Amino acid sequence: MAIKTSWVVTSVACAAALAGVAHAQSPSPHAAQMIRSRSKAVCVNPHPNHMKISAIVVGFSQSQGNENPFRAEETKSLKDAAASFHAKRYVYTNAHSNEAKQVADVESMINQGAQALVIAPLNSTGLQPAFAQAVGKHIPIITIDRHTAGTDCTDYLSFMGSNFYKQGEIDGEQLAKATGGHAVIAEIQGAYGNSVETARTKGFAAAIHKYPGMKIIAAQTGNWSTTDAQTVMSQILLAHPNVNAVYTQSDTMAFGAITALRDAGKKPGQVKIVTIDGTKQGVQDIVSGWVYADDETNPRFGPIALHEIQNWFDGKPVPQTIVIKDHLYTQADAKSALASDAPY
Amino acid sequence: MSVSGTSAAVRAEGAAPERRARLIALIQSRGAIGVLVLATIVASLRFPFFPTVANFENIGTAASFLGLVAIGQTFVIILGGFDLSVGSLIGLGSVLAAYALPYGWWAALLVPALAGGAVGLVDGLLIARAGMAPFIVTLAALLGVRGIALVLAKNSLVIATPGVFGLIANGQILGIDNLIWIVLIGFAIAAIVLNRTRYGVAVFAIGGNEEAARMLGVPVARIKVLTYVVSGTLAGLSGALLAAHLSSGISTAGQGEELKSIAAAVIGGVLLTGGVGTMAGALSGVLLLGLIENVIDQIGNLSSYYQNLASGVFLLIAVLIQTVLTRRRR
């Protein structure tokens, strides 16, 4: 009973903390990020200075262009959070998929007086010189959405993001459910060269491995692009007309695959599609019957990221890893989610 | 630095038209430097964070990778061609550097440079000996080289202990970042080669009129092959320095740098039709593109789309002025 009580107390405390976070965010119909897990390992500021976000310059280094809905929503979330925390000034840069530019961007924001940074790393490595600069000036960094090489608590305080491996696994399980464990699968992967694609590929393969009746007959990259995915899907359909299941690693590519399937005369639901992102388009495709399940990657990092930076200044423990809880959109809730404007 | 083609236009004219022709040639070769100086002054007055040593160093180091590639690209464009393979070679170079580093820092520089040179050699031979179009040959290299880089390293490679190799890119001499020294010395050597050597004269001659150059006894094919080798080598080296700077081999690095290097050269007054251009101009073009990026970031909340828009507008204006000036001179 005592144990149960303390658990309740903790969960209430968590809920209160989350409520605080939610409260800090400007009222919005969009679904705020929820936390799936916090790592036990934490970073604690040895010299808390109790600075307030409202008294400092906050910088955000975005990695890729905002034509991608995920990036656009992420950028917006950071900007909104900076406003609702009343940051003294908010500086923003976009590396436009250029690794060297992201390093320069971070340095440029430090030169502009940034006292806390949020970075969406472009790559799983390559930010070392930027971290070195920030460390020298005791600037706390939170990394979001993609994990990048660096030392916890020294180079950056925390990584917060989705579990990309888990996303692949969940999609594998969903596909097994949709096809009763008997599937000839076409997999359309993200662009090669970063860890997101690798993790989503491995997670899916691990889940599928448990079902002897499920086979990946073709796996090709669609480069996160709708048109590339459409081309790849058309070619796979020509070579393997018996494909009855598709796994795409992003909603943009799911859209391309659907176009190819429609061109090949398939009807919605005839070929089961699972995908990742949870964008408006993806959830809309569930409603129209094409997509069976869409595992969300919630890009709204702003409130939690700034909340943890405040914790750092206050000398409170900051978890080294925060895994974001991703919602799984299915036929059951797609319509209501769209109605409440939850997907981005 | 002389500008090829001016002497012919100027010769045997009266004093006034001669002065006018000189002025036009001056604008053509030095216009970009003027715009760069002007833009620097305006940005310094407008943005308090712009005119700081740290920020200038920041622009310089960020532009250095493009700068090295732009040197080779400028040689190639003056020659009358262009090289689309350089962006992919940056990616391949950075991956090869990461793989070669265990054998020594020199290997991490040498292997990417040699690989880049080899790709340039193949490109050059196909263009000069087989008479294929530079666009197609180097486009094929762009695709093929990127493929090789991705096969070699599907994900990025972390360089755990960069050591001396890291210092080459991230160290300082006399308080100035090594990368800036490297690119400045590179441009200085390139300017001397372009203007003070027989090779440079040959490059201008071929770009100006290939047939005439051949009849004058210029070894056209050899010069062409050599120029693509230079361009490839510099691109491979740029990739190696990027790896040193970022402590990483990144197979996807350098995408789009081929077009940016062409844009930088053209903004700097290098004529796409060949035969005209200066290294100082190309350097100004590189710095102008870097300055635009930097200033758009300083404005902060302005969407980065404006960066592409501003670069595009600059490019268009540069080409427009070039066209008008060239017509005036005729």
- pLDDT tens for B288-302 read 888 888 887 777 555
Whole-number pLDDT of residue B300: 57
The per-residue pLDDT for range B212-263, each reduced to its tens digit, is 999 998 999 999 999 999 999 999 999 999 999 988 888 888 988 999 999 9
Q: Pick the residue with more confidence: A341 or B200?
A: B200
- Enumerate the residues of chain A whose CB falls inside 8 A of the CB of residue B58: 104, 107-108, 111
User: Residue A197 contacts by C-beta under 8 Å, 6 or more apart in sequence?
Assistant: A189, A190, A191, A221, A249
The pLDDT of residue A96: 83
The rounded distance, in Å, linking the Cα atoms of A304 and A20 is 10
Question: Which pLDDT belongs to residue B301?
Answer: 56
Residue A105: phi and psi, rounded to 5, are -60, -45
Check residue A268 and report its DSSP letter.
Answer: B
* Residues in chain A closer than 8 A to B247 (CB atoms): 125-126, 128-129
Which of A104, A127, A198 lies at the smallest CB-CB distance from B62? A104
> Any chain A CB within 8 A of the CB of B49?
yes
CB–CB of A128 and B247 under 8 A?
yes
pTM over 0.95: no
**pLDDT average, residue stretch B67-74:** 96
Number of domains observed in the structure of chain B:
1
Cα gap B74→B183, rounded to integer Å: 14
Query: What's the gap in Å between the CA of A83 and the closest CA on chain B?
Result: 12
- How many of the other CB atoms lie within 10 Å of CB of A25? 22
Please tell me the least confidently modeled range out of A49-58, A67-76, B91-100. Answer: A67-76
pLDDT category at A152 given cuts 50, 70, 90 is confident
Of residues B201, B206, B209, B234, the one with CA closest to residue B221: B206
Cα(B313)–Cα(B267) distance, integer angstroms = 10
The beta-carbon neighbor of A129 closest among B156, B170, B294 is: B170
Q: CATH number, domain at B79?
A: 1.10.3470
| B247/A126 CB distance under 8 A | yes
Q: Average the pLDDT over A292-316 and give the result.
A: 94
Over range B63-82, report the average pLDDT.
95
User: Measuring CA to CA, how many Å separate B6 from each of A198, A313, B274?
Assistant: 56, 64, 14
A108, A112, A126 ranked by CB distance to B156: nearest: A126
Interchain pair B250, A125: CB under 8 A: yes
Interface touch B251/A193, C-beta < 8 Å:
yes
Residue A200 — pLDDT band, cuts 50, 70, 90? very high
Which parts of chain A are beta strand (E)?
A: 34-38, 42-43, 57-62, 89-94, 116-119, 141-144, 158-161, 183-189, 214-221, 245-248, 272-277, 291-296, 318-319, 321-325, 328-330
Say whether pLDDT at A87 is over 70.
Answer: yes
Domain range for residue B21?
3-329
Lowest-pLDDT choice from A102-111, A245-254, B9-18? B9-18
Is B182 strand, coil or helix? helix
Write down the ipTM of this complex.
0.72
Q: Which pLDDT score is estimated for B5?
A: 44
What was the pLDDT predicted at A21? 42
Q: What residue type is A20 in one-letter code? A: G
How far from the centroid of its chain's Cα atoms is residue B178's Cα?
18
Contact B277, B181 (CB under 8 A): no
In contact, A132 and A169? CB cutoff 8 Å: no
Q: Give me the residues of A, 176-195, that contact B with CB < 8 A.
A: 191-195
Residues A155 and A135: beta-carbon distance below 8 Å: yes
